[in-house]
Amino acid sequence: MIKFFPNILAALVLGFVTLSASANGDIHIQDPWVQAAPPGVKVLAAYLEIKNNGKKQQVLTGVSSPAFGQIEMHRSVIHGNMAHMEHLKELAIPPNTSVVMQPGGLHLMLMNAKKPLNAGDQLPMTLIFGSGEKIAITATVRSGKTEGTEDHRHMDHSGHGEHNH
Amino acid sequence: MKNQRGVLTRKSLAILLIAAVAIVVAAAAFIGFRSNSDTVVKPPEEIEDYLFWEAKELTDFKLIGADNKTLELDDLKGKWSFIFFGYIHCPDVCPLTMGILGQAFKLIEKNPAAYQDIQGVFVSVDPKRDTPELLKEYASYFSNKFTGVTGDTAQVDAFSRQMSALYTIHPKEAQASEDNYLVTHNSTVFLIDPQGRLYGRFPPPQLTQEIAEVFIKIRTFYNERVKK
């Protein structure tokens, strides 16, 4: 852990990465960000990485933010060139596993934005876990990393979380 | 006939000769036609997968943009058009694809002649929520090369079906309110050539560099071998 600290600190200072953790340190939330969108857009997406360093499975059951009317967990699925979104009621993060939300896959669907958002805006959000634990994070609005989509191309969606209908 | 053997022979020789010449001319014309047709000229391997086996002529359509402007087949002619079907309430795949296309246009800009030739069209399959004014703002956010259009269901279908770009609107599917519904849509980027024919496609997941490089090659191939 110790050796990561300078990086985290540097990232925090640079403002690129924000990191929040659960009280017992088992869950770490990294780099939460919101895809910047044209001013009239009321539905946006947020991405982040959830690391579960603990020995127990963690389940993300909900997300809230004063900046949005409602937030849901979704997964984009492209099958035979047809894109659709699956609504996930919860998202499991197995022990010693990291679940990455990124464009073209898992994301938080942010609905009914209360005001137009601009790149650089900082949005508070609260992640609620099945254990009852809540983690407060701050997501930064920024333009997408379209150059980073190699990951998205090779990403295996099957291993991430459970989805319940 | 039997009495005019010599005359007949000369006549039949002439007919044979004319027939032979006709066959040669027809064959030459046929070969010439074939080599001018893009349906037969084999495209370079690196762009082959992106091209339709045969460019498909589109029939006229009418889509509605902001400021009472319409988009019809004639508006696609003379340009290379990148077509994407989506909807504004799509938070993930649509901005991702539109962002990639916008970045690809920036890369294409390094080739000014090619850049001059391109336009992007975002077609909303969700006219209930996406007004032409919203679509203008949305599309131009990703690139000033983009136009945003929609239409009533019949108008959208008249265009989308020519690309077999299916979509499904899921009303109120496990959603909190009537205005929060999901849409399944084809996330291919379609490429229409300057003759207004469906020429190529970039299936998902798209990459910025890939779109820009492949498009430049397609355009070169087309200009050298296909253009009438």
Spell out the domain ranges in chain A: 20-142
Predicted local confidence at residue A160, as pLDDT: 38
B67 and B30, same domain (yes or no) = no
B6 and B76, same domain (yes or no) = no
Please give the mean pLDDT across all residues of chain A. Answer: 82
Q: Can you give the residue range of the structural domain that contains B28?
A: 2-36
Predicted local confidence at residue A7, as pLDDT: 52
B163 and B185, same domain (yes or no) = yes
B117 and B165, same domain (yes or no) = yes
Of B89, B176, B207, the CB nearest to A43: B89
Residue of A nearest to B175 (CA): A87
pLDDT tier at B13, thresholds 50, 70, 90: low
Give the total number of structural domains in chain B.
Answer: 2
B121 and B194, same domain (yes or no) = yes
Predicted local confidence at residue B107, as pLDDT: 98
Predicted local confidence at residue B80, as pLDDT: 98
B183 and B208, same domain (yes or no) = yes
Q: With H, G, I as helix, E, B as strand and everything else as coil, classify residue A141.
A: strand
User: Are B205 and A44 within 8 A, CB to CB?
Assistant: no
Question: Hey, of B84, B85, B87, B96, which one would you mutate to test binding to chain A, going by the most A CBs within 10 A of its CB?
Answer: B96
Contacts of B42 (CB under 8 A, 6+ apart): B48
B16 and B86, same domain (yes or no) = no
Architecture of domain A20-142: Sandwich (2.60)
B125 and B22, same domain (yes or no) = no
**For the segment B142-161, what is each residue's pLDDT rounded down to a tens digit?**
999 999 999 999 999 999 99
pLDDT tier at B180, thresholds 50, 70, 90: confident
Q: How many CB atoms lie within 10 A of CB A95?
A: 12
**Full-model pTM:** 0.80
ipTM strictly over 0.90?
A: no
Of all residues in chain A, the percent with pLDDT exceeding 70 is: 75
CB B225 within 8 A of CB B38: yes
Predicted local confidence at residue A6, as pLDDT: 52
**β-pairing verdict for A44-52 and A91-93:** unpaired
Predicted local confidence at residue B42, as pLDDT: 85
pLDDT of A156 > 80? The answer is: no
Of all residues in chain B, the percent with pLDDT exceeding 90 is: 73
The CA distance from A73 to A100, in Å, is 12
B86 and B21, same domain (yes or no) = no
User: Are A35 and B95 within 8 A, CB to CB?
Assistant: yes
B10 and B75, same domain (yes or no) = no
Predicted local confidence at residue A95, as pLDDT: 97
B69 and B32, same domain (yes or no) = no
B51 and B32, same domain (yes or no) = no
